[in-house]
């Protein structure tokens, strides 16, 4: 049984999600604000978090950044605002999905199930994977870590997954839509700038190997370890 933490200062919202989550077999715990969510995550292990952004005491973004310092728990963010900035900022800090209120509980559960299944598949029943090495850039697939000239760099989960997918398909021009669908696992309700933002952050983390991620005009991006200069 998967365990979900619902974090929202609106009791009715938590009740609706709890009803649908328990129907699908989830074990549910609740928190009314970000501070309580951080405390619960310190004391318990969760498979996924559903968390509102705008809350008293500690907002959802700040709470999730604090949680990520200690545990790798996927999160679906809720917001009453359909603001592009909120979505892009959320993806930059590593959230898995973003749903705007009012929402369809059935759609929310469908998205939640995708997140949980993808996260569990990273750890359960997988064979050991070979490291991907390109000069001084090393991708440790089993440890989900990236090293630049023997120095570990801190990537968000989405940045890591984009890098691995590009590297495994070296030399192939991949569209932004392909990257969105591959990394998020379903038809993403966003636009191309989501990928562009993640690519920018990823390049900043790769230092001298940023040039391996090449912009393909009119298409998207490709990985080229021959060291072409990025656009």
pLDDT tens digits for range 124-165: 545 456 789 998 999 998 788 899 999 999 888 889 999 999
Q: Are 55 and 34 contacting, i.e. CB atoms less than 8 angstroms apart? A: yes
Mark residue 127 as left, alpha or beta (left: phi above 0; alpha: psi -120 to 50; beta: remaining): beta
Residues 6+ apart with CB under 8 A from 123: none
Name the 3-class secondary structure at 164.
Answer: helix
Which of 80-89, 94-103, 128-137, 198-207 has maximum average pLDDT?
198-207
- What gap in Å lies between CA 135 and CA 29, rounded to an integer? 46
Write down the pLDDT at residue 228: 60
Confidence band for 210, pLDDT divided at 50, 70 and 90: very high
Q: How wide is the angle at C-alpha 182 spanned by C-alphas 24 and 75, nearest 5°?
A: 45
Write down the pLDDT at residue 191: 59
Residues 23-60 have pLDDT tens digits of: 999 999 999 999 999 999 999 989 999 999 999 889 99
């Amino acid at each position: 049984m998967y365990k979900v933490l619902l974090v929202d200062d609106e009791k009715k919202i938590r009740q609706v999600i709890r009803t649908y989550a328990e129907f699908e077999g989830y074990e549910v715990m609740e928190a009314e604000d970000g501070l309580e969510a951080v405390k619960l995550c310190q004391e318990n292990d969760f498979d996924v978090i559903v968390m509102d952004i705008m809350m008293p005491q500690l907002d959802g973004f700040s709470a999730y950044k604090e949680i990520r310092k200690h545990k790798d728990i996927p999160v679906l963010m809720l917001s009453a605002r359909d603001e592009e900035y909120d979505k892009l900022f959320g993806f930059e800090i590593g959230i898995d999905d973003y749903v705007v209120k009012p929402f369809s509980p059935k759609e929310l559960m469908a998205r939640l199930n995708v997140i949980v299944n993808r996260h569990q598949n990273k750890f359960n029943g997988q064979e050991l994977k070979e490291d991907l090495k390109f000069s001084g850039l090393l991708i440790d697939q089993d440890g989900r870590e990236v090293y630049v000239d023997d120095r570990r760099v801190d990537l968000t989960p989405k940045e890591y997954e984009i890098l691995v997918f590009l590297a495994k398909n070296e030399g192939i021009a991949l569209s932004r839509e392909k990257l969105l669908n591959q990394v998020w696992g379903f038809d993403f309700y966003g636009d191309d700038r989501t990928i562009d933002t993640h690519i920018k952050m990823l390049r900043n983390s790769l230092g001298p190997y940023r040039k391996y991620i090449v912009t393909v005009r009119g298409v998207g991006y490709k990985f080229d370890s021959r060291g072409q200069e990025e656009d």
